[in-house]
Amino acid sequence: MTKPFNTRTRRFTWLLAASLVLSAQAGTAGAEPAGGAASGALTAAIPATQTSSASASTGRIAVELDGRPLQTETPPVLVSGSVLLPIRDVFEALGAKLVWDDDSKTVTATRGQMTLVYRIGDPTALLNGQTFTLPVPGQIMDGYSLVPLRFVSEALGCDVVWDGEHRTVRITSTFTYETTVAWGVNLRSAPDPDSETVGEELLPAGSKLHVVREAGALWLEVRSADGRSGYVSAKPKYTDYRSDALADKQADELIAYGKTFEGTPYEFGASPDQTKTFDCSSFVKRVYEDILSIELPRVSYDQAKEGTEVGLDELRKGDLLFFGARGLDIGHVGIYIGDNQILHTYSKELGVHIEAFDGQWKKRFVTARRVF
């Protein structure tokens, strides 16, 4: 009886079978693809004493991903010359998603433009609609479903080497870890601050991440350099990841939140620690901090020193606009919300409101700053 496939509890574990060819010299380490790298087959030296029986070897086998130990839910085993690895742990660590159809005993793995479909027991699988032959057909053993290593080497484009001397499978991914953690952040199991953390410790500043995708305006789906997959905050303070698409989504979140305060009374010198009243700079400070955790100075003159300056022909949603007011070079600030409009507050009669960026505002305009 097979164990149920449950993506939350991970109680059902897929195993990945590495096809290994016996060598004439027992104890030799190392491996190379049979027939060239493109074949995806893995050959290695395994002592005859390890492969003489169809039963699984109980000697411990380690797995490394990009030079780091990969913790697997089920320990790898050696069966008749094949190393069996948990496919769920490997695929998810490499950023792929798995879907299991229990009726047909079929697994579908996806990552980016790759889609791999395999039914347990079949000698072939479909990779982006193309058929390829597996070195070992999938099987079910002791309640776990087994599939061959070519799921990794061919589907995900990884290099896989069996180190017989050290009984270690070494997987080298094609990932580049292009994003750096700027502020200690939790790796979470879902794009939700209340979801469980993946691992007990924060990802410290300086850690490297691969961004799999932007999961909305406030979350990034990532893979860490130590092989963990999950979600981290997309707020600017936490990583150096930036994109125009993400900035646009975050601006929409910022503006939508700011609009919830429309009509809130204006009070000069209003405390930024409350939302019953605002002045121009306390309003901007509160909105940016609540949505994006961007901590701006209290007054507009100092806020105008943050971020980078942008020209009027470069404005995008979420940029800050600064104006001369009350005899000061810079005495007023508003949020540019697109379509030549400003979200701001300066009048007891109007409170927080939206108006066109023209007329007096164009005449009093001093500078625009981009802070995310």
Q: Which residues are marked as active site?
A: 280, 332, 344
Residues paired with 230 in a beta bridge: 222
Place of tokens 């104006």: 323
Question: What residue type is 38 in one-letter code?
Answer: A
Type of residue found at 98: L
> What are phi and psi for residue 344, nearest 5 degrees?
-165, 180
Euclidean distance between CA atoms 278 and 275, whole angstroms? 7
DSSP per-residue string spanning 50-93: HHSSSSEE-S--EEEETTEE---SS--EEETTEEEEEHHHHHHH
| Distance separating alpha carbons of residues 120 and 128, to the nearest angstrom | 18
Other beta carbons less than 10 A from residue 312's beta carbon: 13
DSSP 37: G
Rounded to an integer, what distance in angstroms lies between the CA atom of residue 152 and that of residue 64? 13
Do residues 155 and 147 touch, judged by C-beta distance below 8 A? Answer: no
